[in-house]
Amino acid sequence: MRFLRLFPAASLLLTLLPPAHSQNVRLTNDVSGGYTSAYTLATGNPYTDSVLTECSMSRGRQNEPSVAVDPRNTAVLIGSSNDYCGVFNTTVNGVPLATGPIWLGYYRSENGGASFQSSLVPGYPEDTSPYAALAQIRTASSGDPVIAWDGHGRVFMGSESSGDPSGSKKTFGDVWVARFDNPGGENGSTLNDGKRFVGSTIVQRGSSAPNLLGRFQDKTSIEADRTGGRCDANVYFAWASFNGNGANQIYLSRSTDHGASWLHLTKLSESLQSLQDPDIAITGNGNVYVTFRTFAFRNGEPDAVYYVKSTDCGATFSPPALVTTFLRWDAQDQTAPQGALGPSSPLEDVEFDEGAPKEARARDCGDFADHCVSGYTFFRVDSSPRSTADQYDSTHEYIYIVYGASKPGTTVSTGTTYGTIVSGTGSQSGAYFTRLNGATGDHTTPILLDAQAAGHQIWPDVSADGGVLHVFYYDSRNDSAYSPARPIGNDASRGTHPALDVFATRSSDLGATWATPTRVTDFTSNPNYEQFDTRAVPFNGDYLWITSFGNFSYGTWTDYRNTVAGLDAREGGDSDNDGADVKQCRAVDPVTGAVGPDTCPRDGGLDQNIYGSPTP
């Protein structure tokens, strides 16, 4: 392990490692007074507001977690997620209304992840704390959190954001970065690293248009240079830019003043068009790499992983180069909307997917407008590469890449409109790894990290700082009705059941060999609970996250152990027998049969949470 560049006293490292523990820990404590203002956490001065009050009792939804360990002190971790805890912060005539924000969570641990304090990144609607004025952003919602530390006690939290504060249908599609530092300065106690909010800055603005039809920035990635070299403390932020007609592009901006301003907007994708999911890796010599996925939908481009490289601290980049192609594993179906008695309140929930119109090809399926031809209920999944590098390795210029893809030889006819490669063709998904040598452009043959005969491995992530590689992924080997012809957690009769866990593995020889994968979760979740789009469709998020420093590693994931199942009066209980309905309280008019809104969204039906744990 090569730590000595930033830590000249080797003995210091021994004091930073917390004791090992294996209990799954909840990051999103949205019950019993569990949320505290970031201003109060940093200063000790009391502050609260209606959003924080709601978050402290909401039992709401959180997904797409991120987490990052402080390289100066592994006792300090910062986590985040799409946090819906403040959504129902208005009640009228006993009915909670969805008028509050979806925002970035700020979850802080100072004991190596044994427990977390839950909060929100400042700047959300109704935030009137002294920190609110430092958030120079213009939107009423935010999501897709990404996190990175530099080597000086600063943490950076990136976001895409869209909602119009005036309440219109406009979607701004901005991307911005929040920054936190140590209130005692760089020489202050490292236990206070990343605690004081310094401000948020817009990196790139989208164009205002309804239903994502303008220029919309999404699929974010962030990384900071911790090498101590020529580019040290630079921060890099990348995203996919969607323009409404499918011709997407990847852009990157860099900051040389610790996130206060962002310069050199660079287009990375050249003539490639159907692409997304950038991820940033920085090698020990300060070179910057961005990997991304292309889709085999247009212009003859394959399903593949590409990369670009910068040798001048992110000022310019090479043309895209192919790493590897793969056989996609993109869950899909065909829409078949079904009518139903709708709720009496238009504010029963925030819009799912920002109100984007449904297309013939569905990425997720549920009830009512979200119903699909196959009749299955499932959350969206696709093949998304993630990459990283060991910033403390001055010997190699290696980029470590993982992705989920269909395993060759596992394709089957599904007998329905559901599929993972195309409609009607299913397959088993596996987690794959390849190591790119940035100095030569060569890469190792992609290998399957887990030869499990049953179950899917999806959304893998990788971390590498300090000489040890750690990989983390969702795994459905405990699905009692597993079949490559059906969605995760679905049986042949279209019923859903617990099916999803998280597994991890590690390599101590730069990816040449890997340890036997280990189950991290102590609870198998049903990821198909219909908690979104007015309790009609599931959403598990588009990623999980692992962070590490040498042998210390910590992962976070979306979890359903606290979700309360129930019946949906709009479908006469559970008329489709999908087992995916959550607890709801809806009055039914005995004369007209009209069904009212859910009056108990805080009773556990929406209790989707972020959990974390140390990993192998």
**Digit-coded pLDDT (tens) for 426-456:** 999 999 999 999 999 999 999 999 999 999 9
What per-residue confidence (pLDDT) applies to 326? Answer: 97
CB 444 within 8 A of CB 473: no
Strands 170-181, 209-210: pairing kind: antiparallel
What per-residue confidence (pLDDT) applies to 210? Answer: 55
Q: Would you place residue 206 in the very low, low, confident or very high pLDDT band (cuts 50, 70, 90)? A: confident
What per-residue confidence (pLDDT) applies to 17? Answer: 38
CB 460 within 8 A of CB 430: no
Q: Would you place residue 574 in the very low, low, confident or very high pLDDT band (cuts 50, 70, 90)? A: confident
CA separation for the pair 160, 164 (Å, rounded): 13
Q: Would you place residue 263 in the very low, low, confident or very high pLDDT band (cuts 50, 70, 90)? A: confident
Nearest CA to 461 among 65, 114, 70?
65
What per-residue confidence (pLDDT) applies to 339? Answer: 76
Residue that wins the pLDDT comparison between 260 and 140:
260
CA separation for the pair 259, 474 (Å, rounded): 32
Q: Would you place residue 465 in the very low, low, confident or very high pLDDT band (cuts 50, 70, 90)? A: very high
What per-residue confidence (pLDDT) applies to 273? Answer: 81
pLDDT above 90 for 237: yes
pLDDT above 90 for 316: yes
What tokens were used for 271? 């003539």
CB 465 within 8 A of CB 548: yes
pLDDT above 70 for 238: yes
* Span 143-185, pLDDT tens digits: 999 999 999 999 999 999 887 776 666 667 889 999 999 999 9
What per-residue confidence (pLDDT) applies to 341? Answer: 54
CB 158 within 8 A of CB 197: no
CA separation for the pair 79, 464 (Å, rounded): 18
Per the prediction, the chain carries an average pLDDT of 91
The contacts of residue 373 (CB under 8 Å, 6+ apart) are 333, 334, 335, 336, 416, 417
The contacts of residue 400 (CB under 8 Å, 6+ apart) are 281, 387, 388, 389, 390, 433, 435, 436, 462, 464, 469, 511
What's the pTM value of the predicted model, to 2 decimals? 0.94
pLDDT above 50 for 405: yes
What per-residue confidence (pLDDT) applies to 503? Answer: 98
pLDDT above 50 for 3: no
Tokens 């890997």, located at residue: 514
* Span 317-366, pLDDT tens digits: 999 999 999 999 999 999 999 876 555 566 888 876 544 445 578 999 99
* Span 373-399, pLDDT tens digits: 999 999 999 999 999 999 999 999 999
What per-residue confidence (pLDDT) applies to 164? Answer: 72
CA separation for the pair 545, 122 (Å, rounded): 22
CB 419 within 8 A of CB 332: yes
State how far the alpha carbon of 404 is from the alpha carbons of 6, 156, 438, 578, in Å: 34, 27, 22, 27
Stretch 550-564: mean pLDDT: 98
| Burial zone of 346 (CB within 10 Å; 0-12 exposed, 13-18 middle, 19+ buried) | exposed
- 575-586 burial, b for 16+ CB within 10 Å, e for fewer? ebebbbbbbbeb
Strands 196-204, 135-136: pairing kind: parallel
Residue 39 carries which DSSP code?
A: H
Q: Is 32 helix (H, G, I), strand (E, B) or coil?
A: coil
Q: How many CB atoms lie within 10 A of CB 191?
A: 15
CA separation for the pair 580, 327 (Å, rounded): 30
Q: Is 164 helix (H, G, I), strand (E, B) or coil?
A: coil
Residues pairing with 24 in the sheet: none
* Span 498-522, pLDDT tens digits: 999 999 999 999 999 999 999 999 9
What per-residue confidence (pLDDT) applies to 69? Answer: 98
What per-residue confidence (pLDDT) applies to 4? Answer: 29
CB 118 within 8 A of CB 556: no
* Span 4-52, pLDDT tens digits: 223 223 223 333 333 334 589 999 999 988 999 999 999 999 999 999 9
What per-residue confidence (pLDDT) applies to 19? Answer: 37
